[in-house]
Structure 1
Amino acid sequence: MMLDRVAPTPLRAVPGPALPVEALVLGRPVAEAAALLPRLFNLCRAAQGVAAALALDLPPPTADIGAEIRRDHLLKLFVQLPGRFGRGDAPPALTGDAGTIRAALFGPAAAAPTTTAETDAFLASGHGLAPLLGRIAGCFGQGVACANGLPLAGPDTGTPAAENSPAARRAAHPALAHVEATHGRGPLWRVFGRALDLDAVLSGDLPAPRLLRPGTAQVPATRGLYTVTATQAGGLVTGVSRLTPTDHLLAPGGILALSLATLPADRAGLAPLLLDILDPCSPVRLAEVADA
């Protein structure tokens, strides 16, 4: 499909109003601010709590980021996305047997494919998540709703557009690299990447929370890498800022803008599914250009 010869969707993203995070914590004692930040948001509280504590030079809380990511991925892969197709089963156990979860992901082999041949065979198998992945691939097709070429988010990634997502964490996995080569960084790549991220999380394979520099912490989170920068004086917070995966998602020339630019106008009805796959952590609506 020659995407440069078809009209792109007229839809553009309109983010909701940002929460005035800095104003809510300025002047508060550091321990109080570190406890407040995760409670301001409904999502990724474990990741936010660890990042806030590290940035404010406090002992990190006993929060299990891996368990949080596992829970969120299970709900997305086995409830929310299948629900878009009129299906949706109870997810595998949120705790406990990793083998059960892997079988639900990849079928009887209970292991992710690792070669091109294994990946193609799995996607055609009808096992595990293959039916969901097949529906997504059938909806969008090769090269549709893709955000190719963005740098992968890392410790020095600032506010410009970057690929900050669960799939970015697993971009080097040979199975995901094959999907990227055949379909681009589109919906299939993103959902399959989330499944591979869940597989890795089951083994404890996540980047460690780290202090990038004094006052700036970065931790893994459900949607990618989450960064908090904070300053303090006399035990009180004097400044705080956050860089979230959704900031990268919504950046000019970022993931959502590129994905919409490669979504043909005759497939604009797929935009809500696309947004669900991209999974912003704050409200975003899609409006026609004339209304945005």
Structure 2
Amino acid sequence: MSFARPLSSARLAIRPAPALPVARLVVGKPVEEAAELLPRLFNLCRAAQAAATRLALGLPLAEGWQDGLHQEILRDHLMRLFVTWPARLGRGASAPPAGWNDDAGVAARAVFGPAARAPETPGALSDFLASGHGVAPVLARIGGAFATGEAAADLPVVSPDTALTPSAVENSVAARHADNPALRALANRHGRGPLWRAAARLYDIAACLNGTLPAPATPAPGGALVPAARGLYAVRAEARHGRVTAFARVTPTDHLLVPGGVLERSLATLPAEKAGLAPLLLEILDPCSPVRLEELDDA
């Protein structure tokens, strides 16, 4: 059931920062040098970028890459739930629980409360959101800020066929868990809006702690898909005589920002009287590069 309203004249314009010329930076370089360079160019998702680039170029993955990827994703989710979103909601930022990266139980109890596990059923998720345990108060505040259908976008979930093309698809943490029964019920009740997207981090955290994140995939020679903190990270690369001859990457942010994509549709379903929630919405959607939202004249 879709709650999205028809796209109307947007009140807020999306102004993304210029994209870096990634291909130009690596084409012509030795494959190993290119694989080392890319993660250093970007502060975010370094482990995901390194894994995707190495897989696409036919290089072996570094020792301990899986633990590094899980830690990277878990750190990003904890920062949103304990620091960024609470500060934006006026609750005051705290800090991720001390020792989260050494003891899975510490992170699980801090996020989920005494149960130390993600709610498995629609009823359990509803109970958790009302419990006051763990990060439930943060998610409950997000749910209270946006009514049913507000700031929602209902698009096809990203697939191996669409991952390498910037198009209007749902490439997010929520896409990774769209079939989870509790999240599916949440989407049916409230729409694919901020609460659905924020609550999906619960299940990604559980996957990081349990080691059940989807494995990287190489759907075609020279192509690689790797789970990342914001969705599915995709790279296509070619090499000849040990040097990169072609390179392209598509990030979750690329899908987020395309015309008709999740950000544009979410803004189109945000009521004018709630325009002040746009910064919170943007932080929940979480682009990995700077994006400005500019108010447009009605004339």
3-state secondary structure, aligned to 1:171 = coil
What is the letter of the counterpart of residue 127 of structure 2? A
Other-structure match for 1:45? 46
Which of 72, 75, 96 is equivalent to 1:68?
72
Which of 113, 123, 132 is equivalent to 1:126?
132
Other-structure match for 2:104? 98
Other-structure match for 2:34? 33
Question: Per-residue CA shift, 1:264-292, capped at 9, x if unaligned?
Answer: 1111111111000100011111112359x
Which of 185, 197, 200 is equivalent to 1:193?
200
What is the letter of the counterpart of residue 89 of structure 1? S
TM-score of the pair, normalised by structure 2: 0.91
Unaligned runs of 5+ in 2: none
What is the letter of the counterpart of residue 211 of structure 1? T
> What root-mean-square deviation, in Å, do the aligned CA atoms of Structure 1 and Structure 2 show?
2.0
Other-structure match for 1:156? 161
Per-residue deviation, 1:116 = 2.5
Per-residue deviation, 1:97 = 2.4
What is the letter of the counterpart of residue 136 of structure 1? I
Contact 2:183–2:196 (CA<8 Å) still a contact in 1? yes
The CA distance in 2 between the partners of 1:23 and 1:122, in whole Å, is 48
The CA distance in 2 between the partners of 1:61 and 1:188, in whole Å, is 36
Per-residue deviation, 1:9 = 5.5
TM-score of the pair, normalised by structure 1: 0.94
The CA distance in 2 between the partners of 1:43 and 1:6, in whole Å, is 31
Contact 2:8–2:268 (CA<8 Å) still a contact in 1? no
3-state secondary structure, aligned to 1:242 = strand
3-state secondary structure, aligned to 1:108 = helix
Do structure 1's residue 256 and structure 2's residue 263 form an aligned pair? yes
Which of 271, 280, 285 is equivalent to 2:278?
271
Question: Per-residue CA shift, 1:38-59, capped at 9, x if unaligned?
Answer: 1111111011011111111111
Per-residue deviation, 1:261 = 0.7
The CA distance in 1 between the partners of 2:193 and 2:235, in whole Å, is 28
What aligned pairs does 1:1-292 form with structure 2 within 5 A after superposition? Answer: 10-62=11-63, 63=65, 64-86=68-90, 87-92=92-97, 93-148=99-154, 150-157=155-162, 158-290=165-297
**C-alpha distance 200-21 of structure 1, shift in aligned 2 (>3 A):** same
- Once structures 1 and 2 are overlaid, which stretch shifts more, 274-283 or 5-14? 5-14
- Once structures 1 and 2 are overlaid, which stretch shifts more, 151-160 or 45-54? 151-160
- Once structures 1 and 2 are overlaid, which stretch shifts more, 274-283 or 77-86? 77-86
The CA distance in 2 between the partners of 1:135 and 1:252, in whole Å, is 29
**C-alpha distance 250-79 of structure 1, shift in aligned 2 (>3 A):** same
3-state secondary structure, aligned to 2:218 = strand
- Once structures 1 and 2 are overlaid, which stretch shifts more, 274-283 or 52-61? 52-61
The CA distance in 1 between the partners of 2:6 and 2:285, in whole Å, is 25
- Once structures 1 and 2 are overlaid, which stretch shifts more, 260-269 or 165-174? 165-174
Contact 2:7–2:269 (CA<8 Å) still a contact in 1? no
The CA distance in 2 between the partners of 1:59 and 1:205, in whole Å, is 21
Per-residue deviation, 1:145 = 0.3
Percent identity for Structure 1 against Structure 2: 57
Per-residue deviation, 1:100 = 2.4
The CA distance in 1 between the partners of 2:277 and 2:188, in whole Å, is 22
**C-alpha distance 234-193 of structure 1, shift in aligned 2 (>3 A):** same
Per-residue deviation, 1:6 = 11
**C-alpha distance 5-38 of structure 1, shift in aligned 2 (>3 A):** closer
Contact 1:6–1:264 (CA<8 Å) still a contact in 2? no
